[in-house]
Structure 1
């Protein structure tokens, strides 16, 4: 990754994953600004007045699918790198992702430390 990542937004309905990801990310790079949202609507509200370097977005959430979230993010004219987060990579999701140029890949839950280090360019 060419630019240094400072602000990462996680949108995932799994609170336990948030706690684990926060601890592990900060262990790798302590000066990160990490924003965690269980509710995608709250995350969209945050994006109305904030920017981030990376969005890690759950594909399947009860309130809205990750794809719907991306559609709404586009309406806010946000250009951000997105990694889709999923518990299993579905070929249909990979196909859908090709319609979103902001999606740069898929991450499988739970996020492992070596994947986090790769994301951070460490």
Structure 2
């Protein structure tokens, strides 16, 4: 019995774009966070603005991943993109609640985890799209 190979439709261009916007904005946030942690003041609003960009890009990426899945795309990308969107919403809330104590450090550690997850997202999309 032969096994049929079903090709996966290409990922939407907008999904790639949103993933890269999220990567770019999280890099800017990380740089700003380093300055803030080293004592530079007045960067909180800019850091938050890039946080909003990151959250929005990731939510849109999750929606686009679901739409791609409905056309035959992989569910793994949906899980990755949706998981990142949820984690980013938690991260945003932690940033808003941060009082400089323990919440601040949870926010910092989660930020590092988010960076890793977002760095991998475009590769995950490309790899799944080429199957």
- Which one has the largest radius of gyration? 2
User: Taking structure 1 as the reference length, what is the TM-score of the superposition?
Assistant: 0.26
Higher relative contact order structure (alpha carbons within 8 Å, sequence separation ≥ 6): 2
User: Taking structure 2 as the reference length, what is the TM-score of the superposition?
Assistant: 0.25
